Amino acid sequence: MPRKVVSGPDYDDDYNDDYDEYQDGYDDYDETGHGDIQQPVEEKESVKKSSSVAPVLWRCSMCMFDNHEKMVHCEMCGVFRESFMKSAKDGSIKGNGISSDFGTPPVPKSDSTKMPAKTHTTDFGGGPGRKYASTFHEKVSSTQSASVGSSSGTGNKMKHTTLAEDVPIDRTVQLIPDHFQLKEDQNSRASSSAQNEDVAQTLSSDICKLGIEKNDVDITKPCLPEEYKPDKWMFSVEESGVLSQLNLATVGHVDSGKSTLSGRLLHLLGRISKKDMHKNEKEAKEKGKGSFAYAWAMDESTEERERGVTMTVAVAYLETKKYCVVLLDSPGHKDFVPNMISGTTQADAAILVVDACTGSFEAGMDGEGGKSIGQTKEHAQLVRSFGVEQLIITINKMDVVGYSKDRFEFIKVQLRNFLRSCNFKDSSVTWIPLSAVENQNLIKIPSDARLTSWYQGLCLLDAIDSFQLPSRDVSKPLVLPICDVIKSQSTGQLAAFGKLETGAIRNGSKALVSPCGQVATVKSIERDSNPCDIARAGDNVAVSLQGVDGSKLIPGGVLCNPGFPVPVSNFLELRVLVLDITIPILVGYQVEFHIHHVKEAARVTKIVALLDKSGKPSKTAPRFLKSKQNAIIQVTLDGAVCVQEFSKCRALGREFLRSSGSTIAVGVVMRVLGQDQN
């Protein structure tokens, strides 16, 4: 930022000796400004010597900017000089040539510890003039800072520390122009250096004493993430009979049987009553969709039942021997992939459901006639981009192919190669053949001899128990991305529903609602539809708040610690992996930007560099991006979103770019660049 200087009249650079005559014309003025009193010759000579001394600079304690000694506040940030503030507290405004009574020059005090020094100033109010001021470098201790000059005139001392009203501060910057600075001799340079050292020591002792009581200016240093200290109650305590929560997503191509599998599993574990199941079977037969009875346990909306497809992510709860499972049933149709992204970002692990029928598996891999990527591939890529590393591959509808081992092995070979390209490890992937409709290999070993003759592995329920919980970080500040806004069952009020990514929350604690910026109080918490007092990282909860308007709770918002707000920005730098695309990505390319539970229209504003396999950026920026390339790009969003660098918060740093109904790139947020006004 260029230094801002308020100067007097402009002078030509090529001035001549006429300036000496211009200056000597004011020798008749004394320190009171009256021209009828002649000054002694000795004083005039001493003034000329003092005028050659370089101006003393003082450094701002906030922005470290070097200011002229005449300044009472920093030119860059506006913070008042520490010695000036100390003088205000003592009852007088002191400074180099500046007093509370600006019409009368300061009168030096006689003290053995003070050394007077004359300074030269230029009066820009009416014309150049010579004023005499005395500056004193006092001896200071650890509890007392140096004050320069003294206050005189009326003799009344100030009784308040206020500055805005009681103290008439001249904020006009008065500096000596560079054209008027004379050559300094060796002795003056040494004296100025010693004075600078004394001033620097004085200012360093004043840093912690700066205070403005009336205006109550908050100059507290912002907290850094590493300075956050969690409370003791945030750490989990093992309780007998309480199961750990596992967020499990079911994904896969449309009509692969995801909702039927989820509904059947809930029914077998007693989570669906016989009355509800009988009602679903009756309604399904009336509409000629008898096989949809179990799917309707998850697809409850009228539109979903009429169309026969899942449109939004359905949430259900079940218990295994080891976990309390939050089941996230995702839509498989390509038109609802954005909804799948919004809901499945909460997953700790996933079940990829594959249709074993001839033609159905191939459609899920290669799309319609090989023209586009199928949802089996796309969902696998997205799930891995969510950070999910553990995966169960369920080969469903095995009864249709007669529980053929050859069909199972064919699907396994084809899909395994693709999963490896998505960075799934073989040891983290479990393969299970089953039939949801005939209840084969769901919660117990299969009974059909055609399957047991060649498969002796785990059933689906045991495979879920084999998952390992990912690390839960409660040592970081609270971050809860809002997936949906629902009606609380306990209070009847609107509640923010989502997965607690980091930190912990309890009843009565404060939470900042972003992006609106309002602070609210936690009224109640529901975990697994049951009230609880404390929720920790990894829990899927519904949080009711008081002190905030319900309209401010929106999907895509974030509940966070008031002392550690989540940034809100529309200008980001991303590191992306380009997927299989047919049209190259150019600067200005329009995309859909997806991050946690929000999507926003965006455009690529800059392609910064390509990245090689080692992550090293290229020296020159490419003109476009094509398939399988890693790159760093900058995007501008139409609207600001809650976002965080991936290195600071993974849940708020994973992003996806889509265009024309397909996912074209996945990646992470490298930098939050702020607000782009273009």
Complete DSSP assignment for 41-58: HHHHHHHHHHHTSPPPEE
Angle (deg, nearest 10), helices 186-206 and 82-90: 60
Highest mean pLDDT among 50-59, 486-495, 594-603: 594-603
- The Cα–Cα gap between 324 and 303 comes to 30
Question: Tell me, what's the pLDDT at 370?
Answer: 56
- The Cα–Cα gap between 529 and 531 comes to 7
- The Cα–Cα gap between 581 and 559 comes to 36
**pLDDT > 90? residue 323:** yes
Where b means 16+ CB within 10 Å and e means fewer, 545-573 reads: beebeeebbbbbbbbbbeebbbbbbbbbb
> If pLDDT is split at 50, 70 and 90, which confidence band does 475 have?
confident
Instruction: Give the percent of the chain with pLDDT over 70.
Output: 68
Angle, vertex CA 31, rays to CA 30 and CA 33, nearest 5: 70
Task: Express each pLDDT in 60-103 by its tens digit.
Answer: 777 777 777 777 777 777 777 766 555 544 554 443 433 334 33
**pLDDT > 90? residue 667:** yes
Question: Tell me, what's the pLDDT at 321?
Answer: 92
Question: Tell me, what's the pLDDT at 361?
Answer: 92
- The Cα–Cα gap between 24 and 39 comes to 13
Q: What is the DSSP string of 113-164?
A: T----B------SSS------B------BTTB----S---SS-PPP-----S
Question: Tell me, what's the pLDDT at 56?
Answer: 65
Residue at 411: amino acid letter: I
SS3 string, 228-287, reads CCCCHHHCCCCCCCCCEEEEEEEEECCCCCHHHHHHHHHHHCCCCCHHHHHHHHHHHHHC
Lowest mean pLDDT among 46-50, 391-395, 600-604: 46-50
Task: Express each pLDDT in 603-638 by its tens digit.
Answer: 999 999 999 988 899 888 899 999 999 999 999 999
Element (H, E) at 304: helix 302-307
Q: What is the mean pLDDT of the chain?
A: 75
Distance, first Cα to last Cα, the chain: 21
Of 194, 208, 40, 189, nearest in space to 115 by CA: 194
Task: Express each pLDDT in 639-651 by its tens digit.
Answer: 999 999 999 999 9
Rounded mean pLDDT, 507-523 = 93
Question: Tell me, what's the pLDDT at 54?
Answer: 55
Of 598, 627, 347, 605, nearest in space to 484 by CA: 598
What sign results for the dihedral spanned by CA atoms 309, 318, 274, 265? positive
State the pTM of this model.
Answer: 0.65
Q: Is residue 177 reached through a cis peptide bond, with omega within 30 degrees of 0 on the bond before it?
A: no
Kindly give, in sequence order, each residue whose CB lies less than 8 Å from that of residue 240, ignoring residues fewer than 6 positions away: none
Residue with tokens 């610690």: 561
Burial of 665 (0-12, 13-18, 19+ CB in 10 A): buried
**pLDDT > 50? residue 214:** no
Kindly give, in sequence order, each residue whose CB lies less than 8 Å from that of residue 364, ignoring residues fewer than 6 positions away: 252, 253, 256, 354, 355, 374, 375, 376, 377
> If pLDDT is split at 50, 70 and 90, which confidence band does 59 have?
confident
Angle (deg, nearest 10), helices 337-344 and 375-385: 30
* DSSP H helix total and E strand total for the chain: 13, 28
Task: Express each pLDDT in 110-166 by its tens digit.
Answer: 443 334 433 343 343 444 333 333 333 343 343 333 333 333 333 443 333 333 334
542 neighbors 488 (Cβ within 8 angstroms):
yes
Beta bridge partners of 144: 141
